[in-house]
Structure 1
């Protein structure tokens, strides 16, 4: 795809985390960029502040006058509803239409591509690796699946020799990529609407890993997972591998570890985000950094300055009485990691968790596992399922069914709407609040923070 001949870009679903980073990229390249989304959010507001025009009405009249130009590329996300009027019109009359994943792969072909895949951990790994490469002076553009606190963006722009991307398994999007370096941070069943059996997911991942190319042509795999590939470079946190981390030490609520390369040991590195699962992600980023010959001091500096990603174990409020943490966890494994990390960091504290299930298919498939994960909380407030791209068809799947499976006393668990959460919180006794989920639960962040600042400080 020759982007030099394209001067106009229209994004259907521009507010998505993956779509918005590409929109920002072309805007930075001096192209005319605008788009459509159904809701105004923090992210769309930021895009508008940067000079990208967005319309929120599903109306054909809102389309720009250049939409039929041969110099226009229409980019869409699979999450766009089939009954969206703009989408129906553009499918019929648009000249150049490409799926987001194909556009990303076309961009990445213009340099050395590093692709980070995995059911869990790819955003943290990608953001940290991007930060290390940027601090080390690499010519790098990184497309992130979250908002980096260091750059206040989901894109890092510092040249175009290397392109760092997340390899998204949803809709088999990652099969459009042909990376030079690939990494799989975890292998756990998810997106059951696309991969109903784990062997189907495994087959897709192996197809992705076979697409690596020269120069480099290297694959990094977590040794604890079940993917096996000849000539892969393995990393670990439980056993010796090509690269591994061990000797975890916690001091004053901060975590430190040793990192072993094939030739040396880097002692007492700071872990920028707590949790054993995050040590896996950091080990992945460090393994690739060492392979690219970034020295220990640059890595150490980057770990110390890394500020994390919004909605990944993000502490919004902390006092002697209360702590509020928000996290994107939307899979049982992720919820287990989150609660364990909170217990490790704040032993003996009473945790109130607010969870919003994401997708009907995921909630139904993992219902038993979700229930067991949520039982690790002291108090549960369960929200309605966030449907995202899914719609109810023949069978009823709801949060009430999940709540019944959570083995807690009835006075410790209840259903709520988003708008009623604060009223429930006011009546509860707790030390820590967690908001958990990948839907629009993030709209609770500001109200909860305001409530805590007012009520906690008054006591």
Structure 2
């Protein structure tokens, strides 16, 4: 595939967070870009504001003339794995011999001639990528960046060098779903964590672990592997180094003396032969300190300035939907978080408890995927039982069809608190109004984000009438 020969790029599933970053890349290169998605969203709204046409009706007639009237050799169709085989546009484009490629292959093609930092892992990929791009930005290093979330400091998931500057560095999020990350050949491969997930794709733990080993083995000659200590990933022969990080000493980078003051986390950093005291980080939680350590390890050969690193970590504001403050008042705190795996729920809930040890904490959780709920309903219940009150929503299916006997009831029945409830999305706001909340958190990777605005409005109304 030669991207330079394409003058039209059309996306099936353009509203995906990773797809939208690639769409912005091609748009910035002067290429015509458009796409289809199932439903409107804040992402598609933003793309349309950037003059990228998006439609939501799956018919052949909706395929733009810029696609139909162009020679097929000049058109690239980028697919998300969520597009079903019965999609009408997909079948039209397939039968008319347009070149079709998955998102991961496009990222692999874009990054193949650049120094590439690729971040993989069951948890922390997006946040670690966001720290990396912030470190590079603050150090004045030009780069391209493709994130799986919106970096709060910059309100975007796509980064490019300033006009007139060339970039030799590319930062990409390496998604393990569908083995997508195996399309990449990074110079720096970061593995933040390995956990049982996407077992609908891998089938078992051994195949999942093997995929991570393959990702590490894709490192280019004299590249570097960065991983959390204890992941059972070895340095490939062609790599020059394997840097390990953790919250315990005895590794290349570690944090100790973690403390919280005025809701700000700080820690003492030990990196190779350096020790830097009292580094403040702009995002709370031990897991975000781990993300910061991974980002430092991945970029320090490029930045080589501890003062810039420390200043950047302090000014880092995180990623949208990752412990994002929606309301922060003396009466009520409302946080939105993407946690959709039991381990992520543990981290988010522990951070909430560390920051608000005296307050009642209510969680609103929307399970994501039938397969994940089936695999982890007991672990979900155990994690959620750490909260004072839980409101469950129905499962968000995403790409999946319903599974017999699998519903949010499985989680509810395993939980210990009899006051926990399963409610519909339509009845959620009313349920919130009927309860007294001090700290409330929406949790999940589905469309629960669409409920954030009405929840915020209701909480503000209740505050005004109190």
Corresponding residue for 1:421? 428
CA drift at 1:424: 0.6
Unaligned runs of 5+ in 1: none
CA drift at 1:304: 2.4
Corresponding residue for 2:462? 455
CA drift at 1:156: 1.5
CA drift at 1:228: 3.8
CA drift at 1:263: 2.3
CA drift at 1:443: 0.5
Confirm or deny: 8 A CA contact 1:313 1:326 kept in the other structure.
yes
Matched, 1:180 2:187: yes
Supply the distance in 1 between the matched residues of 2:33 and 2:294 (Cα, whole angstroms).
34
TM normalised by structure 2 equals 0.95
Describe the superposition over 1:4-39 as per-residue Cα deviations: whole angstroms up to 9, x where unpaired.
211100000000011000001100111100000011
Supply the distance in 1 between the matched residues of 2:144 and 2:304 (Cα, whole angstroms).
17
**2:246 alignment partner, one of 228, 236, 239:** 236
**1:348 alignment partner, one of 358, 369, 381:** 358
SS at match of 2:199: coil
Matched, 1:101 2:104: yes
SS at match of 2:391: strand
Corresponding residue for 1:431? 438
Supply the distance in 2 between the matched residues of 1:340 and 1:106 (Cα, whole angstroms).
40
Matched, 1:85 2:88: yes
* Residue correspondence of structure 1 range 57-456 to structure 2 within 5 A: 57-68=57-68, 69=71, 70-158=73-161, 159-214=166-221, 216-229=222-235, 231-392=241-402, 395-409=404-418, 412-456=419-463
CA drift at 1:240: 2.3
CA drift at 1:41: 0.6
Supply the distance in 2 between the matched residues of 1:246 and 1:304 (Cα, whole angstroms).
17
Supply the distance in 2 between the matched residues of 1:314 and 1:183 (Cα, whole angstroms).
24
Supply the distance in 2 between the matched residues of 1:212 and 1:288 (Cα, whole angstroms).
13
Corresponding residue for 1:19? 19
Confirm or deny: 8 A CA contact 1:187 1:227 kept in the other structure.
no
Confirm or deny: 8 A CA contact 1:355 1:437 kept in the other structure.
yes
CA drift at 1:198: 1.3
CA drift at 1:181: 0.6
Confirm or deny: 8 A CA contact 2:117 2:298 kept in the other structure.
no
Describe the superposition over 1:121-153 as per-residue Cα deviations: whole angstroms up to 9, x where unpaired.
010000011111122121201100100111111
| Off by >6 Å, runs of 4+ in structure 1 | none
Q: Which moved more, 1:297-306 or 1:136-145?
A: 297-306
Q: Which moved more, 1:241-250 or 1:205-214?
A: 241-250
SS at match of 1:193: helix
SS at match of 1:348: coil
CA drift at 1:48: 0.5
**Aligned-residue CA RMSD (Å):** 1.3
Supply the distance in 2 between the matched residues of 1:377 and 1:36 (Cα, whole angstroms).
39
Q: Which moved more, 1:256-265 or 1:431-440?
A: 256-265
Q: Which moved more, 1:422-431 or 1:180-189?
A: 422-431
Supply the distance in 2 between the matched residues of 1:175 and 1:288 (Cα, whole angstroms).
19
Confirm or deny: 8 A CA contact 1:67 1:94 kept in the other structure.
no
CA drift at 1:290: 2.0
Supply the distance in 1 between the matched residues of 2:271 and 2:300 (Cα, whole angstroms).
7
CA drift at 1:194: 1.0
Corresponding residue for 1:46? 46
Q: How many residues are matched?
A: 455
Confirm or deny: 8 A CA contact 1:182 1:212 kept in the other structure.
yes
CA drift at 1:363: 0.4
CA drift at 1:454: 1.7
Describe the superposition over 1:135-191 as per-residue Cα deviations: whole angstroms up to 9, x where unpaired.
212120110010011111111112431110011000000001010110100111100
Describe the superposition over 1:38-65 as per-residue Cα deviations: whole angstroms up to 9, x where unpaired.
1111110000001100011111101012
TM normalised by structure 1 equals 0.97
